[in-house]
């Protein structure tokens, strides 16, 4: 290890806060043990007046599967007597929120004035005067102008390619009436080629003056003979017109598939509304986008991520039309061309054949920190908005309906165990309390089998970090099982901004009071990972932060059981360190400390200090991934 040519204090610690406490402390889950050189001094009142650097950059950062990757320094210029290699870039005069705790509580986050970047890693953080000493002849210098800097957002749940394709199709997000939906579809019909499919999504009937789902006859009025297929905003139901149903052979005689339902009128005729797995019949006959259109869609969605400071995303795209691997191949091309602007963990389909899943995992292992296969994603149920989330008791506003479970318990438990024993991380979409219970039961059986057989998880230990996505309706007993089984709660607080207008009607006051239970999960010691579910909700993370800390509607008039709100530091952690932990990458990203990936975002205001309502107007000034600027505001 190269030693610095100056007076210093050697400090072996697992994180900067251990030095602040005057001790090295015990290793905690998700923390790295590194050797730092201290160039300044600590002041522990929430400010990091220190330069922590990795001397000589000779150490290797371990990836989750044990394969080491070294930073690739670009600037080897040093000066006699200077403290080690020079930085490739230094960012000075900022208000830098490191994400590092000054103590074991979310009471004070260490801050710094400047960051040095070497290769794709953070070389040092601390006082501007210390960081300037790492400037060499080729070092890029960026003056942050006092702006707020924080770790890049890691969106723990999104649908990237689906979002991009929605941007290229009929965008129905925010339409306020059936008439407005008609107008947008008609505009596409008038420019479409003969027989061309009209597809789109984003409609939400709860925003309309007359709250009722549309029918195929509503679409027939304006479709001009074109087949039409339009997804609801939640992606769990869709409306198909008569021509689309004909092409898919959905008729009076069609039976409901397992985990799905075809809505029918009083005469048994399909109305065009297809719930959950019933959508598959129509999706199977819709022509798939070609490679060029798929790439155009993905690039459009990636641009959105960069614009909103999302440096990592955990993505499940193409599951509805079985194009997951086609999307992955586009992303591979972008990575090879140096055009991938966000780190992506691409989930695979839980119910795909196991041998196929193993092959794809082995072809694209976790050692690639820009793009790799991730967890296996399965579905327990649907959504509250569509009345398809599986509940233990019927819907308050639909007493004959308890939702649509996707699996029988025996089948689910066996499939889950088989995949965990093969070393996969598994995550289940579960919104209703019955869906959550099904997932927890399957996880308990699978983990028991894995422990007995001493199977290792993707990170090489016996911590599988099984996940439940959404977990919107939970009981106290279920939350206790989250903790017992070490299940990660992957949640999307921005959903509450949409759902709070009708969630209590769906659930009744008792269940609603214990829904979206972010604080109780945290207080029980459950890891929270936040995301947006883009394009179900807008991709901006600031709506999620706002929802998490206020539980108020965007205009501030409606409040939804505020006792479950969290602090801003807790919300940021869920979007950074929590999301990184959920994908086994907490040793690589989520904090702005030496040795971590140089993934960060510069904002126009300090989101920890502004009034909550102003947070919604936050703008991203710069997004940096691996030391490279991928977005800069004009």
Which residue ranges make up each domain of the chain? 9-152, 158-283
Mean residue pLDDT of the chain comes to 87
Name the nearest CA neighbour of 305 among 341, 358, 262, 355. 341
pLDDT at 40 over 60: no
Name the nearest CA neighbour of 631 among 234, 324, 306. 306
Residue 601's H or E segment, with its range, is: strand 600-603
**Cα distance between residue 209 and residue 206, in whole Å:** 8
Percentage of the chain lying above the pLDDT 90 cut: 80
Name the nearest CA neighbour of 532 among 275, 309, 230. 309
**Cα distance between residue 34 and residue 11, in whole Å:** 9
Distance set, CA 532 to CA 178, 535, 549, 582, 611 (Å): 26, 8, 15, 15, 22
pLDDT at 415 over 50: yes
* pLDDT score at 41: 27
One CATH from 2.60.40.10, 2.30.40.10, 2.40.10.10, 3.40.50.150 for 9-152:
2.30.40.10
SS3 43: strand
pLDDT at 103 over 80: no
Residue 406: CB atoms within 10 A of its CB come to 24
pLDDT at 540 over 90: yes
Query: How many angstroms from the chain centroid is the CA of residue 528?
Result: 11
Q: Which parts of 210-334 are beta strand (E)?
A: 228-232, 237-240, 260-264, 270-276, 310-315
* pLDDT score at 108: 79
**Cα distance between residue 318 and residue 161, in whole Å:** 7
SS3 34: strand
Of residues 202 and 18, more confidently modeled? 202
Distance set, CA 98 to CA 147, 414, 545 (Å): 14, 43, 17
* pLDDT score at 485: 97
> Could you confirm whether domain 158-283 is CATH 3.10.310.70?
yes
DSSP string, 158-214: E-HHHHHHHHHSEE-TT--SHHHHHHHHHHHHTTPPTT--EEEEEE-GGGSSS----
Domain 158-283 in the same topology as domain 9-152: no
Residue 579: CB atoms within 10 A of its CB come to 30
Q: What is the pLDDT of residues 304-357, one digit of tens each?
A: 999 999 999 999 999 878 899 999 999 999 999 999 999 999 999 999 999 999
Task: Using pLDDT thresholds of 50, 70 and 90, give the confidence band for residue 137.
Answer: very high
Of residues 463 and 601, more confidently modeled? 601
CB 305 within 8 A of CB 154: no
Name the nearest CA neighbour of 356 among 322, 388, 402. 322
Residue 299's H or E segment, with its range, is: helix 291-307
Q: What is the pLDDT of residues 541-584, one digit of tens each?
A: 999 999 999 999 999 999 999 999 999 999 999 999 999 999 99
**Cα distance between residue 385 and residue 108, in whole Å:** 38
Task: Using pLDDT thresholds of 50, 70 and 90, give the confidence band for residue 107.
Answer: low
CB 578 within 8 A of CB 529: yes
Task: Using pLDDT thresholds of 50, 70 and 90, give the confidence band for residue 105.
Answer: low
Q: Which parts of 65-127 are beta strand (E)?
A: 68-69, 89-92, 95-101, 109-112, 114-118, 121-126
Per-residue burial over 160-196, b = 16 or more CB atoms within 10 Å of its CB, e = otherwise? bbbbbbbbebbbbbebeebeebbebbeebbeeeeeee
Length of the chain, in residues: 634
pLDDT at 589 over 60: yes
CB 174 within 8 A of CB 554: no
User: Tokens for 599?
Assistant: 């993934």
Half-sphere exposure of 123 (CA within 13 A, CB side): 31
């Amino acid at each position: 290890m190269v030693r610095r040519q100056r007076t210093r204090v050697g400090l072996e610690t697992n994180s900067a806060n251990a030095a602040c406490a005057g001790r090295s402390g015990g290793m905690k889950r998700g923390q790295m043990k590194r050797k730092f050189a201290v160039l300044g001094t600590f002041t522990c009142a929430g400010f990091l007046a220190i330069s922590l650097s990795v001397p000589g950059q000779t150490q290797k950062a371990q990836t989750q599967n044990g394969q080491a990757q070294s930073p690739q320094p670009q600037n080897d210029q040093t000066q006699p007597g200077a403290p080690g290699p020079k930085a490739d870039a230094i960012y000075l005069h900022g208000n830098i929120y490191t994400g590092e705790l000054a103590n074991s509580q979310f009471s004070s986050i260490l801050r710094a004035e400047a960051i040095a970047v070497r290769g794709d890693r953070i070389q040092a953080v601390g006082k501007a005067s210390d960081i300037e000493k790492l400037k060499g002849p080729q070092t890029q210098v960026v003056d942050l102008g006092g702006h707020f800097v924080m770790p890049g957002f890691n969106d723990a749940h999104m649908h990237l390619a689906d979002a991009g394709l929605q941007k290229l199709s009929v965008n129905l997000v925010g339409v306020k009436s059936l008439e407005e939906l008609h107008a947008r579809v008609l505009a596409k019909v008038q420019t479409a080629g003969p027989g061309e499919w009209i597809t789109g999504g984003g409609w939400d009937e709860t925003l309309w003056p007359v709250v009722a789902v549309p029918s195929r006859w509503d679409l027939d009025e304006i479709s001009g003979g074109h087949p039409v297929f339009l997804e609801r905003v939640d992606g769990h139901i869709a409306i198909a017109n008569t021509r689309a149903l004909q092409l898919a052979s959905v008729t009076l005689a069609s039976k409901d598939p397992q985990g799905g339902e075809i809505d029918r009128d009083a005469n048994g005729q399909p109305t065009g509304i297809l719930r959950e797995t019933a959508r598959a019949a129509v999706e199977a006959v819709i022509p798939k986008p070609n490679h060029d259109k798929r790439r155009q869609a993905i690039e459009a969605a990636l641009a959105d991520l960069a614009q909103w400071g999302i440096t990592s995303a955990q993505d499940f795209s193409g599951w509805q039309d079985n194009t997951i691997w086609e999307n992955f191949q586009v992303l591979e091309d972008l990575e090879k061309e140096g055009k991938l602007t966000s780190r992506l963990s691409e989930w695979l389909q839980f119910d795909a054949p196991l041998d196929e899943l193993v092959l794809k995992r082995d072809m694209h292992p976790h050692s690639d920190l820009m793009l790799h296969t991730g967890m296996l994603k399965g579905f327990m149920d649907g959504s509250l908005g569509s009345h398809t989330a599986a509940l233990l008791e019927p819907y308050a506003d639909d007493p004959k309906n308890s939702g649509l479970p996707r699996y029988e318990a025996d089948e689910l438990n066996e499939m889950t165990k088989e995949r965990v024993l093969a070393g996969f991380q598994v995550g289940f979409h579960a919104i209703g309390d019955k869906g959550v219970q099904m997932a927890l039961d399957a996880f308990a059986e699978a983990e028991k089998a894995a422990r007995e057989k001493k199977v290792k998880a993707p990170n090489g230990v016996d911590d599988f970090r099984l996940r439940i996505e959404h977990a919107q309706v939970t009981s106290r007993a279920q939350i206790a099982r989250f903790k017992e089984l070490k299940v990660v709660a992957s949640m999307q607080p921005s959903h509450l901004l949409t759902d709070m207008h009708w969630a209590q009607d769906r659930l009744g006051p008792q269940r609603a009071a214990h829904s979206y239970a972010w604080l109780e999960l945290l207080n029980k010691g459950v890891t929270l990972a936040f995301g947006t579910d883009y394009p179900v909700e807008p991709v901006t993370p600031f709506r999620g932060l706002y929802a998490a800390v206020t539980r108020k509607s965007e205009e501030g008039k409606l409040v939804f059981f505020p006792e479950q709100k969290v602090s801003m530091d807790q919300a940021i952690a869920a979007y950074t360190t929590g999301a990184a932990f959920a994908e086994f990458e907490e040793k690589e990203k989520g904090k702005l400390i030496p040795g971590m990936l140089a993934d960060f975002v510069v904002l126009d205001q300090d989101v920890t200090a502004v009034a909550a309502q102003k947070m919604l107007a936050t703008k991203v000034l710069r997004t940096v991934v691996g030391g490279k600027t991928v977005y800069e505001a004009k």
